[in-house]
Structure 1
Amino acid sequence: MEPNKVQPEGGLNVTLTIRLLMHGKEVGSIIGKKGETVKKMREESGARINISEGNCPERIVTITGPTDAIFKAFAMIAYKFEEDIINSMSNSPATSKPPVTLRLVVPASQCGSLIGKGGSKIKEMRESTGAQVQVAGDMLPNSTERAVTISGTPEAIIQCVKQICVVMLESPPKGATIPYRPKPASTPVIFSGGQAYTIQGQYAIPHPDVSYKSLMSHITAFGKRLDASPPASTHELTIPNDLIGCIIGRQGTKINEIRQMSGAQIKIANAMEGLSERQITITGTPANISLAQYLINAR
């Protein structure tokens, strides 16, 4: 924290840092083509705006500066998100405009003050700004921070952020804060037919950054040789009967999807009298098998 600088007219100009949690798509919108949008936001607001590195589904956007610069940066972000909503609606039949939503990341030790005794503070914020404010019940993974979700019109959000900043300045975090760091999309990269795939949700998505060649050179570097077509092997899994349905899917749709995506052969044994489990046999290359296993577990 820089020392508080008192301005001549008596206003308090405090340097503050606010962290936002955004999805990749929202970050893309803030960065803009060739970084033009974020550059403009930095110049016009006077705030420092940093975007966490990493190919993560979630990114942290850190806004630092005097409070008035932070409010300007927030206003620009909120209006940009509103513009994105309007643009996305121009080709959808929806008539009511969904609210703009921002997620702040706040040290858990400050969340009590934001909520207030018996929820009095958060209620007052909702009523005075018209924004919806929600403080997550659980901390974000591996951190001592919680997500605070604000949604409403850009104007309501800006008013609400101002009030949150005041609370954060009045009650600084207690003890050490372990900041939330989004996990990289460390989905396994799987190779099949010379193409890399990463798992997203329940689909294998061709992975653009990894070429077969670069991976091969990595593997050789590790002193492991990978034949172009590893010998087929077999792996067996046992699955409880009550879960087998969600793996097979309606009329076998899910299991066929898994077979197609993984390129492995998958055989499911018939139910045996008196046994509560079924045997699944997966045959294919190690990569096909690991992908099939991953997809079955994900189900």
Structure 2
Amino acid sequence: MEPTKVQSEGGLNVTLTIRLLMHGKEVGSIIGKKGETVKKMREESGARINISEGNCPERIVTITGPTDTIFKAFAMIAYKFEEDIINSMSNSPATSKPPVTLRLVVPASQCGSLIGKGGSKIKEMRESTGAQVQVAGDMLPNSTERAVTISGTPEAIIQCVKQICVVMLESPPKGATIPYRPKPASTPVIFSGGQAYTIQGQYAIPHPDQLTKLHQLAMQQTPFTPLGQTTPAFPGLDASPPASTHELTIPNDLIGCIIGRQGTKINEIRQMSGAQIKIANAMEGSSERQITITGTPANISLAQYLINARFRDVAAMWNDPSSMTSS
């Protein structure tokens, strides 16, 4: 459906839809007591603001309207988040104020235009607005959308959103977009070191919002070498790269999902990656186990990738209990 075009005093004013990904806590702040905050935002901005249903750790907030109403809605959200940051800091006045962060969900087919040739567009946005802009390398689970994270002062964020809207209007999505839909929360499912976690997407998210070791686990993923390139790149050179070693730390509670029933999963990872993988015995008083991966850089990279993929599979099973029997 073609966006409707309305002539306004400021030139062409086009109807656009922007999707934001927010944590439950952020959504609560936007809704406000008895829905008062979101009602005020809708009335004052003139934009349609819809919040996805469901008991999910993440929610999608959709903002639709002529571009000027979208900018007003964004301004109100950015200032509200800044107010939340200031209120949460009132106990510790010494620390510097962290930036406001918003996550947009953008069809992957438009991300190339946002980044620009050799990163030129995203660099220009950062320099002209003072906001930090990052486009995720991977698509969000079960979708063809990527997360675009913007952080900075509310003013920098508003300027940055204006520029992103221009790019999105100039480069409409190609082909069909499969929108990202957050999975419902299974209540806290893992306990590690006295901390409860829910699995969300490919991460285990601590409860309450306290980022710990586990959240970073999936972030340790190094870019893995495509399977075809594990052999030396130069024919005639038989010498394979020297073996090296990489260590990972994994919470005890999650080690079972890497080992699998009677070691099936870890053996599969060993065979597929060609790496040696040793899991240290549990140390008394420690809630973590050390995994040592030895092999060529390509073997190690592939083993890490498979271990991370295993976490994602388990995360998907927690989110979809009907598939629990398959592992």
Query: What CA distance in whole angstroms lies between the structure 2 residues aligned with 1:30 and 1:188?
Result: 24
Summarize deviations over 1:36-69 as a string: whole Å, max 9, x none. Answer: 0000000000000000000000000000000000
Cα pair 1:19 1:61 within 8 Å, conserved? yes
3-state SS of paired residue (2:177): coil
Cα pair 2:193 2:287 within 8 Å, conserved? no
Q: What is the Cα deviation at residue 92 of structure 1?
A: 1.9
Q: What is the Cα deviation at residue 287 of structure 1?
A: 42
Report percent identity of matched pairs. Answer: 97
Query: What CA distance in whole angstroms lies between the structure 2 residues aligned with 1:222 and 1:128?
Result: 41
With over 3 angstroms needed to count, the CA separation of the structure-2 counterparts of 1:238 and 1:167, relative to structure 1, is closer
Summarize deviations over 1:110-154 as a string: whole Å, max 9, x none. Answer: 000000000000000000000000000000000000000000000
With over 3 angstroms needed to count, the CA separation of the structure-2 counterparts of 1:67 and 1:249, relative to structure 1, is same
Q: What is the Cα deviation at residue 7 of structure 1?
A: 1.8
Between 74-83 and 265-274, report the one with greater CA deviation: 265-274
Q: Which has the larger radius of gyration?
A: 1
Q: What is the Cα deviation at residue 192 of structure 1?
A: 19
Between 233-242 and 165-174, report the one with greater CA deviation: 233-242
Query: What CA distance in whole angstroms lies between the structure 1 residues aligned with 2:123 and 2:249?
Result: 51
Between 164-173 and 237-246, report the one with greater CA deviation: 237-246
Cα pair 2:192 2:253 within 8 Å, conserved? no
Between 161-170 and 286-295, report the one with greater CA deviation: 286-295
3-state SS of paired residue (2:68): helix
Summarize deviations over 1:233-252 as a string: whole Å, max 9, x none. Answer: 99999999999899999999
Summarize deviations over 1:165-204 as a string: whole Å, max 9, x none. Answer: 0000000000000000001003488999999998999999
Cα pair 2:49 2:61 within 8 Å, conserved? yes
Counterpart position of 1:214: none
Q: What is the Cα deviation at residue 9 of structure 1?
A: 3.8
**TM-score, normalized by length of structure 1?**
0.65
Q: Which runs of 4+ in 1 moved over 3 A?
A: 1-4, 187-209, 219-224, 226-298
With over 3 angstroms needed to count, the CA separation of the structure-2 counterparts of 1:2 and 1:43, relative to structure 1, is farther
Between 195-204 and 18-27, report the one with greater CA deviation: 195-204
Question: Does residue 1:169 correspond to 2:169, yes or no?
Answer: yes
Query: What CA distance in whole angstroms lies between the structure 1 residues aligned with 2:256 and 2:285?
Result: 18
Counterpart position of 1:199: 199
3-state SS of paired residue (2:225): helix
Unaligned runs of at least 5 residues, structure 2: 210-223, 230-236, 310-327
Between 179-188 and 61-70, report the one with greater CA deviation: 179-188
Counterpart position of 1:223: 228
Cα pair 2:57 2:184 within 8 Å, conserved? yes
Between 255-264 and 178-187, report the one with greater CA deviation: 255-264
3-state SS of paired residue (1:7): strand
With over 3 angstroms needed to count, the CA separation of the structure-2 counterparts of 1:47 and 1:251, relative to structure 1, is same
Summarize deviations over 1:46-104 as a string: whole Å, max 9, x none. Answer: 00000000000000000000000000000000000000000000012442100000000
With over 3 angstroms needed to count, the CA separation of the structure-2 counterparts of 1:260 and 1:36, relative to structure 1, is farther
Query: What CA distance in whole angstroms lies between the structure 1 residues aligned with 2:206 and 2:286?
Result: 39
Cα pair 2:225 2:298 within 8 Å, conserved? no
Q: What is the Cα deviation at residue 207 of structure 1?
A: 13
Q: What is the Cα deviation at residue 296 of structure 1?
A: 16
With over 3 angstroms needed to count, the CA separation of the structure-2 counterparts of 1:240 and 1:28, relative to structure 1, is closer
**TM-score, normalized by length of structure 2?**
0.59
Query: What CA distance in whole angstroms lies between the structure 1 residues aligned with 2:207 and 2:241?
Result: 21
- Number of residue-to-residue matches in the alignment: 288
Summarize deviations over 1:263-284 as a string: whole Å, max 9, x none. Answer: 9999999999999999999999
With over 3 angstroms needed to count, the CA separation of the structure-2 counterparts of 1:118 and 1:37, relative to structure 1, is same
Counterpart position of 2:134: 134
With over 3 angstroms needed to count, the CA separation of the structure-2 counterparts of 1:295 and 1:49, relative to structure 1, is same
With over 3 angstroms needed to count, the CA separation of the structure-2 counterparts of 1:223 and 1:195, relative to structure 1, is farther
With over 3 angstroms needed to count, the CA separation of the structure-2 counterparts of 1:267 and 1:16, relative to structure 1, is closer
Cα pair 1:20 1:104 within 8 Å, conserved? yes
With over 3 angstroms needed to count, the CA separation of the structure-2 counterparts of 1:87 and 1:240, relative to structure 1, is closer
With over 3 angstroms needed to count, the CA separation of the structure-2 counterparts of 1:264 and 1:79, relative to structure 1, is same
With over 3 angstroms needed to count, the CA separation of the structure-2 counterparts of 1:109 and 1:123, relative to structure 1, is same
Between 196-205 and 250-259, report the one with greater CA deviation: 250-259
Alignment of 1:1-299 (within 5 A): 1=1, 3-7=3-7, 9=9, 11-187=11-187
CA-atom RMSD, angstroms? 13.9
Cα pair 2:197 2:206 within 8 Å, conserved? yes
